[in-house]
Chains A and B, each alone.
Chain A
Amino acid sequence: MTSELRIPDPLELEAAEEGRLRAVAGLPPLKRGGGEYAGFESVGLPDRPPQTEREREVYTLDEGEMLVNMGPQHPSTHGVMRLVIKVRGEVVIDIDPVLGYLHRGIEKLCENATYTTVMTYVDPMDYLSAMHNEHAPAIAFEKLFGIKAPPRAEYIRALVVELNRVFSHGLMMGFLALDMGGLTPILYSFINRDDVVDMLSAISGQRMLFNFFRVGGVNFDTNDEFMSRLGTWRAGVLKTIEMSERILTDNEIFRGRTVGMGVLSGAQAIALGVTGPSLRASGVPFDVRKAHPYSIYPELEFDVITQAGGDVYSRYLQRVAELKQSIHLIDQIVDKMPHGPVQAQVPGIIRPRPGRAYAAVESPRGLYSVYAISDGGPNPYRFRMRDPSFVSLQALPKLMPGRLIADTMAVMASFDPVMGGVDK
């Protein structure tokens, strides 16, 4: 009588031991992917049947495929977001962005706040462009209430909004390099950024979430500290930008990783709802400041800049060009700024007549809009915000299949998403 000696597979042994330990600890058994990676746990696999056709598509693994979670604590997801990436080796097959880690329900909070206090709630939406976040509701509420901000208030608004765009675009240049492993440019970006933030805190009293706009005007007039900081900054800003640019624009490694990477065609960008610099980098000249001029933009002289490429490098160049354009706009605004009051006469509790208003502004990330409905009460009946980074994020699963995991960060950073805005 012969007994066949069977040598067990080490992976099998390991799995059996792991299963035994999990059973002792009272944990559910592990789920495993198929194919040659059968020994590895597929960490992204949800513990329930797929709810939609698309979810089934992403979470069904073929031979040799596995799921990798990037985030929610990954440093280059620009906040708290999880990307479930389906890979074969190092090649991305599909991406499913999982949102909601930062969801605060700002729309609902605003519907329970008065028109004045809404301004404090919208700041932490897209925390790198807090001034733009306040601009759109201010315009919408003024439309509802039927008042206009005084001319000087409009000029101050345009000034702080353009300053905000400068530091947001400047940071994007640094973060794009940081996500590809270049540490130096972010330090240069922060020189410029700190100058602007100090300036804005001199005028508004706060450093990042400014709470500066009011219905019918702005909170403070310009002061000596603000103007003096503005002058000092303006004298040196082009030089600091040139420094950052010199590190990146002609850098061979930077170009090697960005040129031809993540090419988004104009038609694709329109279909996906991508807006702002990312849309213009694909050659579509759509800028809300020109398309539906608001505030004092009809009085200012500027062109809509576009790039032809549609790749990561074009999106970077677009930001640099718009940064310089914003400085040009700031010069014009300071030059033309009139004297006068900065706040219209507004009652303590604002009760607009029943009606609805839509206001859109060009934020550094694209079209940011507010749709507000009033029912005659002291708080908005419906307050809807359309955040550009939320919509732009849909481009990522379209661009990445066939590319490497390491390039996912570069492509994502080129859209410059801010998770505070994505998750509301």
Chain B
Amino acid sequence: MADVRRPRPTAEQLGRRRTLSAPAKAGALVRLLLDRFPGLASTIWTDDDTVEVQIDGAGNVALLGDLRDDPELHFWFLADAAAVDYGVGERFEVVYHLYSDLHPAWLRVRARVDRADPHIPTITGLWEGANFHEREMYDMMGILFDGNRDLRRIFMSPDYRSFPQRRDFLLPDDAADSQAAGVNPLERPETWDLTRLEESRAPGVMAGAGDEP
């Protein structure tokens, strides 16, 4: 169930490439990327301080490793790793932002992940600090990082069943307008272990009318 208030644009519209001329300061980096990774030529996109490439999720470790270890690229610092949900029936993206002191632009690597079967290799072998980012992405979006030794929930409690930052997880305000009106989506029965809910209800407190869906 996508957002009910207004039609969301498709992933194609969101990800469409604006035809901007590459600014002079990122030009050297773009040329270098074209030289090293000719396969990515059609995905290169530039902003005034960012150069972006898109890849398939499975290729993330190889590409990021090359970007880090190539002496001319030398992207030694992982600034950020985040997940983006493009909606039901579309895809996830894991977005890495890299920094190099040789180039005056951030490098953004967008890795596509299948939304129905969200698996992507972990990059904790390259940067150990990616672990917390990957745990957060798993907790919030439900993306599974193959090979991560510590992939468990980080913010929500371990018995929580839902992935709150997915687009189809609605906040109560939105749910009031939706087909599921009246049911608090944060406590949808299919996302919760009902036996625990029953146990946690204090004795003597009757279930109110509002509790029933």
Chain A residues engaging chain B, CB cutoff 8 angstroms? 46, 48, 51-55, 99-100, 103, 105, 107-108, 112, 143, 270-274, 286, 291-292, 354-355, 357-358, 360, 367, 369, 371, 373, 375-377, 381-382, 384, 386, 390-391, 393-394, 423-424
Contacts of B85 in A (CB 8 A): 382
Q: Is the CB of A112 within 8 A of B173?
A: yes
Tell which of B80, B99, B152 touches A386, judged by Cβ atoms closer than 8 Å.
B80
Contacts of B78 in A (CB 8 A): 273
- What's the nearest-Cβ distance from chain B to residue A50, in Å? 9
Contacts of B16 in A (CB 8 A): 354
A367 to B78, CA, bound (A): 11
- What's the nearest-Cβ distance from chain A to residue B152, in Å? 5
A291 to B98, CA, bound (A): 12
A309 to B72, CA, bound (A): 29
Q: Is the CB of B101 within 8 A of A291?
A: yes
Looking at B95, B106, B108, B129, which has the most chain A CB atoms within 10 Å of its CB? B129
Q: Is the CB of A386 within 8 A of B79?
A: yes
**Chain A: which residue is nearest B133 at the CB level?**
A391
Contacts of A360 in B (CB 8 A): 79, 106
Q: Is the CB of A52 within 8 A of B150?
A: yes
- What's the nearest-Cβ distance from chain B to residue A395, in Å? 8
What are 14 A-B contacts defined by CB distance under 8 Å?
A: A48-B158, A108-B164, A271-B127, A271-B129, A273-B127, A286-B77, A286-B99, A292-B49, A367-B79, A369-B80, A375-B13, A384-B82, A386-B80, A423-B155
Looking at B78, B82, B140, B152, which has the most chain A CB atoms within 10 Å of its CB? B82
A371 to B78, CA, bound (A): 14
Chain B residues engaging chain A, CB cutoff 8 angstroms? 6, 8-9, 13-14, 16, 18, 47-50, 76-80, 82, 84-85, 95, 97, 99, 101, 104, 106, 108, 127-133, 136, 140, 148-158, 164-165, 169, 171, 173-174
Looking at B130, B132, B152, which has the most chain A CB atoms within 10 Å of its CB? B132
Given A270-B76, A292-B104, A371-B97, decide whether A100 and B155 contact each other with a Cβ distance below 8 A: yes
A423 to B76, CA, bound (A): 26
Q: Is the CB of B106 within 8 A of A358?
A: yes
Contacts of B6 in A (CB 8 A): 377
Q: Is the CB of A357 within 8 A of B47?
A: yes
User: Which applies to chain B's interface (DSSP): helix, strand, loop or mixed?
Assistant: loop
Known pairs A48-B158, A54-B150, A358-B80; list 4 more (Cβ under 8 Å). Answer: A52-B151, A55-B150, A100-B153, A272-B129
Q: Is the CB of A390 within 8 A of B9?
A: no
* 8 residue pairs, one from A and one from B, having the closest CB atoms: A273-B129, A54-B150, A100-B155, A272-B129, A103-B155, A384-B82, A386-B80, A53-B149
- What's the nearest-Cβ distance from chain B to residue A183, in Å? 33
Given A46-B158, A108-B164, decide whether A371 and B82 contact each other with a Cβ distance below 8 A: yes
Given A291-B99, A377-B6, A394-B132, decide whether A107 and B149 contact each other with a Cβ distance below 8 A: no
A424 to B154, CA, bound (A): 11
A99 to B127, CA, bound (A): 21
Contacts of A273 in B (CB 8 A): 78, 127, 129-130, 132
Contacts of A271 in B (CB 8 A): 127-129
Contacts of B80 in A (CB 8 A): 358, 369, 371, 384, 386
**Chain A: which residue is nearest B154 at the CB level?**
A99
**Chain A: which residue is nearest B106 at the CB level?**
A358
A355 to B18, CA, bound (A): 8
Contacts of A53 in B (CB 8 A): 149-150
Q: Is the CB of B47 within 8 A of A373?
A: no
**Chain A: which residue is nearest B49 at the CB level?**
A292
- What's the nearest-Cβ distance from chain A to residue B211, in Å? 23
Contacts of A377 in B (CB 8 A): 6
Contacts of A354 in B (CB 8 A): 9, 13-14, 16
A391 to B84, CA, bound (A): 19
Q: Is the CB of A393 within 8 A of B97?
A: no
**Chain A: which residue is nearest B81 at the CB level?**
A386
Q: Is the CB of A382 within 8 A of B84?
A: yes
Given A270-B76, A371-B97, A391-B129, decide whether A51 and B149 contact each other with a Cβ distance below 8 A: no
Q: Is the CB of B149 within 8 A of A358?
A: no
Contacts of B128 in A (CB 8 A): 271-272, 394
Tell which of A46, A381, A384, A386 touches B14, judged by Cβ atoms closer than 8 Å.
A381
Given A286-B77, A371-B97, decide whether A112 and B174 contact each other with a Cβ distance below 8 A: yes
A87 to B14, CA, bound (A): 51
**Chain A: which residue is nearest B105 at the CB level?**
A292
A143 to B97, CA, bound (A): 17
Looking at B8, B48, B79, which has the most chain A CB atoms within 10 Å of its CB? B79
**Chain B: which residue is nearest A109 at the CB level?**
B171
Given A270-B77, A376-B9, decide whether A100 and B129 contact each other with a Cβ distance below 8 A: no
A349 to B150, CA, bound (A): 42
Looking at A274, A373, A384, which has the most chain B CB atoms within 10 Å of its CB? A384
A83 to B113, CA, bound (A): 33
Q: Is the CB of B150 within 8 A of A375?
A: no
Contacts of A390 in B (CB 8 A): 132, 136
- What's the nearest-Cβ distance from chain B to residue A303, in Å? 15
A393 to B79, CA, bound (A): 15
- What's the nearest-Cβ distance from chain A to residue B56, in Å? 19
Contacts of B151 in A (CB 8 A): 52
**Chain A: which residue is nearest B160 at the CB level?**
A100
Q: Is the CB of B133 within 8 A of A107?
A: no
